[in-house]
């Protein structure tokens, strides 16, 4: 199974390393041709203004939107979540892909708390808290009908959502030693590929 990782800016190397550990083939996405044959897309953390600008510049926005609309699973982490959102507020909101029915606010935790770690209950990942690393993270302010919140901070702020096979987190699973979120995403991708007679992912760590 091939999984595309948008490799324009940000934590794409870390996502690629996790995919290698989980035994699937990562494909760096830099131009539309790279999208051929992938069963899922990861948009990494980084700077959403830069990532969206480069996505438009390299003509990736339209093919990515079409893929999401046709049911290809997406995982967006931090800036990646902002890129997927229907609407992004906060300072210098980027022009997003508008593929997920969530409204997010950039840099929601301010400067003092620009980076922190929190143990999160994420029921779709099973029992045991998930280590959430938040770096100048966004928050989900509201969701439309199709999207559900799958994790909240202890204070109640919504920090992860799912809509069909679209998955988005305000934190960075690619920077923590817990592979459950990537494993869950690959499960969604293998479900997608199974519908077309494909392969199930193998775990190698």
Task: List the catalytic residues.
Answer: 78, 172, 174
Stretch that binds ligand GLN, among 40-48, 54-62, 123-131, 157-165 (CB under 6 A): 40-48
86 versus 106: smaller Cβ distance to ligand GLN = 106
Near ligand GLN in 65-94, by CB under 6 A: 78-79, 82
CA-wise closest residue to 151 among 137, 130, 176:
130
Residue-wise burial string across 179-201, b where 16 or more C-beta atoms lie within 10 A, e elsewhere = bebbbbbbebbbebbeeeeeeeb
Give the nearest distance from C-beta 47 to ligand GLN in angstroms: 5
Q: Is 42 in the site for ligand GLN (CB under 6 A)?
A: no
Does 46 bind ligand GLN (CB under 6 A)? Our answer is yes
Of residues 107, 116, 142, 187, which one binds ligand GLN by CB under 6 A? 107
* One of 2, 30, 53, 136 touching ligand GLN (CB under 6 A): 136
Closest to 114 (Cα-Cα) out of 106, 123, 125: 106
CB of 196 to ligand GLN, least distance (A): 32
Number of residues interacting with ligand GLN: please give it, by CB under 6 A. 11
Residues forming the site for ligand GLN (CB under 6 A): 45-48, 78-79, 82, 106-107, 135-136
């Amino acid at each position: 199974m091939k999984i595309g990782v948008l490799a324009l800016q940000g934590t794409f190397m870390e996502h690629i390393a996790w995919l290698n550990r989980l035994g699937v083939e990562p494909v760096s996405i830099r131009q539309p041709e790279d999208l051929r044959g992938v069963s899922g897309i990861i948009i990494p953390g980084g700077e959403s203004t830069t990532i969206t600008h480069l996505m438009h510049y390299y003509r990736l926005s339209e093919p990515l939107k079409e893929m999401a609309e046709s049911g290809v699973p997406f995982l967006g982490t931090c800036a990646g979540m902002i890129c997927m959102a229907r609407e992004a507020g906060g300072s210098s909101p980027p022009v997003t892909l508008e593929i997920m029915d969530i409204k997010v606010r950039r840099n929601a935790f301010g400067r003092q708390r620009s980076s922190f770690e929190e143990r999160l209950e994420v029921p779709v990942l099973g029992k045991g808290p998930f280590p959430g690393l938040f770096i100048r993270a966004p928050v989900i302010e509201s969701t439309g009908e199709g999207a559900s919140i799958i994790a909240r901070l202890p204070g109640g702020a919504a920090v992860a959502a799912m809509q069909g096979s679209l998955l988005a987190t305000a934190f960075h699973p690619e920077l923590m030693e817990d592979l459950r979120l990537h494993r869950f995403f690959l499960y969604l991708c293998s479900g997608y590929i199974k519908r077309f007679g494909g392969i199930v992912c193998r775990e190698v760590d």
